[in-house]
Chains A and B, each alone.
Chain A
Amino acid sequence: MPRPVAIIGVGLTRCSSWRRDVLYPELVYEATSAALQDAGVTPKDVEAVVYGSMDPFDGVNAPEKWNVDACAAAGMLGKPYMKISTGGTTGGSTALAAYYHVASGLYDVVLAVASQRVGESLEAQLVLNTAVDPVYERGFGVGAITIGAIQACSHMHLYGTTEEDLALVSVRNHENAVNNPYAHLRLKFGVQDALASAMLSWPLRLSDCCPSSDGACALIFVSAERARALAERPAWVRGAGQITDNYFAGDRPWYEDWDSLSMLARRVYRMAKIDDPMRQLDVAELYNAFTIQEILEYEALGFCEKGKGAELVRQGVTAMDGQLPVCPSGGVLSNNPIGATGLIRVAEAALQVMGKADQRQVPDVKTALAHAWGATIGFHTLMILDREAP
């Protein structure tokens, strides 16, 4: 079994549609320096760096090379430095890579950092369209939003989920984001306002979709020995994994369920000894780029039976004062610096476990789950964090 690994520091940046006030290295430094300070370690203590970004969304290819010096100034030079890119799961995959840096026994203190400047993209959906096969699928205009819309159509058709349910997911997430100073959108609006927003890809309206953001996030992963020496309340990694589905979106016969996520959840829950997620999890940070996906994720993650996700929304089970609050941060619906978004989910889950989530803190969190999806909904990452060491 891998040796225990914990998170002891979190650094988040302010996010907006275009952080014109800072150069790219400055944006990254904002996150890395905050994480080091939060963990109480110096650049010298950091033994290796893992960097995540999705290059096609940035105005600079492979920005990690430009940003080597910004990973906490010159203290990072000449150190192991690894770049991860896996689509929307990039941040989740970056956390996993940092985890394996420590779990392997090679390193005791590892900086995970992820960034994106989607403000430099001409149009994110155009970039996403280049992900799909140029011969068979690209001509249909497939991007992230169109696939989200197919999921919504299928779920509404087969399980009776309504446009009002989607609107309610949006309202809740944005309400939560008001408490999060690091969220890009901090808006308060009602279900009727959401339903009145522009239709983008039926049945997904503007209010059902994530923004495109500039931002960065950094985390400090450490070995058990260092965690006990450096932190009073570390967030221990209890389960972690990734899954890769097939690549032709058209090869997947159903969209109302998210089977690859169910499969990954079974693996990761086994690692974390979770058999009743609704009872054992205290908070979940889900990758809800589109409202419908939060509902599919409830079902795939075993929070409820298939087809019953919308009921959890209606009953308020996943609201801030519910049994299992989902996305106290406001989720991806409020903030989406693509390559960093998955790492922000892990960061927010870690903050909850460490009791450092300020205004958005859920009381008495012991166990938290962080999720991300990527590619044409074919990738997922999961990480389960806990107050107790494994």
Chain B
Amino acid sequence: MTSRVCIVGVGQTHHRGPGDNLAYYEYAFQAARSALDDAGLRSGDIDTVLASGWDVLDGRTISDMHIVPAAGGYLKDSAKVADDGILAFAYGYMRIASGAFETALVVGHGHAESPTELVSHVAMDPFFYRPLGVGATATLALQCCDYGARYGVSEEQAAAVVVKNRSQGANNPYAHLRSPVTRDQVLASEVIAWPLRELDCRPQSVGAVAVILASEDRVKRIASRWATVEGIGWAAESYYIGASELSRLAGLSSAAQRAYGMAGITKPFDQLDVAEVHDLTSYHELMAYEALGWAEEGTSSRLVEEGATGMEGSLPVNPSGGALSTDLGGGTGLARVAEAALQVVGKADGHQVEARTALAHGASALTGSVAQSHGVVILRRGE
């Protein structure tokens, strides 16, 4: 019954820090425009538009009323998934898989108009967690502390992830931070929330990303190169920090199991050629390797040290530079999907690796308690 779904176009802005005068939906327009150009389609060819992100972060109630028309959704059937864009991608996938629509455009955006710590702080319940003064960074730091203490992962080992991703990001023409950093620079940067230093954390980037999906019936009439969605999964874990084992990304494990099951992946580390992982912090990239079943608990930093997840390794992770180079708020997970698609279709200018099968991971970075919900997408080069 479920029809196969493909990615036929990807568009991004040249992501950057705060400083120009465009509204967030103008970036959405730019990304949608370039995705349409990439797919060789016109706005009228798109059946449905899915937006993503959080009203409170956007500083607008109902921010999709601006984003959707800007992304070509005027008079079309649209919706907003109020979470990371990888979940809007999942909704776009379902809309096409149902047979009700042939094409969908999914858009995610980031901007610098709102204080992310305050926005994530007010996402905490008013009774238990808000009085503690915590926001996204503080709760992520709790996980990092637990992970570091439990497995003896050092600051130097976490810094190696930053060095890897920032050096890879330097080759991505769309990345926000395009300067490599050294281990010493990471370790000399200011502590934000122990053990996280400034360079262990994501920047706040401005820009947007758009992905165009099409049904398998339609795809051959649209594109010469495309990616097929082989597996997709998403999941949320308990809100209560005390109810979870902090150093494990349980939501990511659940999401990955679903996606692997659909795609028939049993040995992910061997079967995947490239991955774009949502590196919420340097430590979270390490935790993600384990939740994704690539390494035994607490052993991920060995993969980084051996270069296995570097550009020349057997499973390059975040050739784009990841979220440590560009963080689009609610658009970051969708950017992971976009970058994974670019890799399998061979359009990742400057940061291309040899890849037929790719994994993309997105997490809900700015709402919920500790990296509470995750999405995983498995892509394969279309034939």
Q: Which residues of A contact B (CB under 8 A)?
A: 1-3, 23-24, 49, 54-56, 59-62, 65-69, 74, 76-87, 93, 96-97, 100-101, 103-106, 127-128, 130-131, 133, 241-247, 260, 263, 374-376, 378-379
In the complex, B236 has a CB within 8 A of chain A: yes
Please tell me if the beta carbons of B239 and A69 are within 8 angstroms of each other in the complex: yes
> Contacting A69 at CB < 8 Å: which of B61, B68, B74, B240?
B240
Question: Which residue in chain A gives the minimum CB-CB distance to B122?
Answer: A61
Are A2 and B75 touching (Cβ within 8 A)?
A: no
Contact between chains at B236 and A244 (CB < 8 Å): no
B54 and A62 form a contact (CB under 8 A): yes
Q: Are B83 and A61 in contact (CB under 8 A)?
A: no
* Complex contact B95–A100 (CB within 8 A): yes
CB distance from B292 to the nearest CB of A (A): 15
**Is B266 on the interface with A (CB-CB < 8 A)?**
no
Counting CB contacts under 8 A, is B99 at the interface? yes
- Complex: how many Å from CA A80 to CA B83? 13
Question: With A1-B99, A103-B100, A105-B2 known to touch, is A74 a contact of B367 (CB < 8 Å)?
Answer: no
Supply 14 A–B pairs (Cβ within 8 Å), ascending by A: A1-B100, A61-B56, A62-B56, A62-B367, A65-B372, A66-B239, A67-B239, A69-B239, A74-B238, A78-B237, A79-B236, A82-B83, A85-B62, A244-B73
A49 to B236, CA, bound (A): 10
- Least distance between B251 CB and chain A CB atoms (Å): 7
Contact with A along B118-136 (1 / 0, CB 8 A): 0110111111000000000
User: Is A65 a contact partner of B94 (Cβ separation < 8 A)?
Assistant: no
**Range for the number of chain B residues in contact with chain A:** 35 or more
Selected from A65, A100, A243, the residue in CB contact (under 8 A) with B75 is: A243
Select which of A1, A24, A80, A378 is within 8 A of B234 by beta carbon: A80
Beyond A61-B119, A79-B235, A106-B94, 16 additional pairs, beta carbon < 8 A? A55-B54, A55-B56, A60-B122, A60-B126, A62-B82, A76-B236, A78-B236, A84-B81, A86-B79, A97-B79, A97-B91, A104-B93, A127-B61, A247-B69, A375-B65, A379-B65
Provide the bound-state CA to CA distance between A55 and B122, in Å.
11
Cβ of B239 and Cβ of A104 under 8 Å apart? no
Q: How far is the CA of A74 from the CA of B240 in the complex (A)?
A: 11
Q: Residue B305 at the A interface, CB < 8 A? A: no
* Known contacts A77-B237, A83-B82; is-contact A65 B123 (Cβ 8 Å): yes
CA distance A80 to B68 in the complex (A): 24
A86–B94 Cα gap in the complex (Å)?
A: 18
Q: Would you call A69 and B90 a contact (CB within 8 A)?
A: no
What residues of chain B lie closer than 8 Å to A263, measured between beta carbons? Answer: 75
Partner of B76, one of A55, A103, A106, A244: A244
Does A23 lie within 8 Å of B127, measured CB to CB? yes
- A106 and B364 alpha carbons, distance in the complex (Å): 22
Q: Which residue of B lies closest to A88 (CB)?
A: B62
List which B80-123 residues lie within 8 A (CB) of chain A.
80-83, 87, 90-91, 93-95, 97-100, 119-120, 122-123
Q: Which of B62, B77, B87, B123 contacts A62 (CB 8 A)?
A: B123
Given contacts A82-B83, A244-B73, contact A54 B258 (CB under 8 A): no
A65 near B368 with CB under 8 A, answer yes
Hey, which chain A residues are within 8 Å of B367, CB to CB?
Answer: 61-62, 65
For residue B1, CB closer than 8 A to chain A, the reply is yes
Q: If A2-B98, A242-B79, A246-B69 touch, does A65 touch B91 (CB 8 Å cutoff)?
A: no
Write out the residue numbers on chain A whose beta carbons fall within 8 Å of the beta carbon of B233. 80
Residue among B2, B73, B100, B251 facing the most chain A CB atoms (10 A cut-off): B100
Is B66 part of the binding interface, using a Cβ–Cβ cutoff of 8 Å? Answer: yes
A103 to B101, CA, bound (A): 12
Q: Is the CB of B80 within 8 A of A85?
A: yes
8 A Cβ contacts from B314-370 to A: 364, 367-369
B369 to chain A, nearest CB (A): 7
**A101 to B49 CA separation, bound complex (whole angstroms):** 17
Closest to B366 in A: A62
What separation, in Å, do the CA atoms of A133 and B26 have in the docked complex? 13
Taken together as a complex, chains A and B put the C-alpha atoms of A68 and B239 apart, in Å, by: 7
Q: Which residue of B lies closest to A339 (CB)?
A: B82
Q: Judging by beta carbons under 8 Å apart, are A86 and B55 in contact?
A: no
A68 / chain B contacts, CB cutoff of 8 Å: 236-239, 372
The residue on A at minimum CB distance from B262 is A106
**Residue B64 lies at the interface, judged by CB distance under 8 Å to chain A:** yes
Q: In the complex the two chains form, is B61's CB within 8 Å of A87's CB?
A: yes
Which residues from A are CB-within-8-Å of B66? 133, 247
Q: How far is the CA of A97 from the CA of B49 in the complex (A)?
A: 13
Q: Which of chain A's residues have a CB closer than 8 A to the CB of B55?
A: 54-56, 85
Q: Contact: A104 with B372, CB < 8 Å?
A: no
> A130–B236 contact, CB under 8 A?
no
For residue A101, which residues in chain B have a CB less than 8 angstroms away from its CB? 94
A78-B235, A82-B91, A247-B65 in contact; A130/B73 too (CB < 8 A)? no
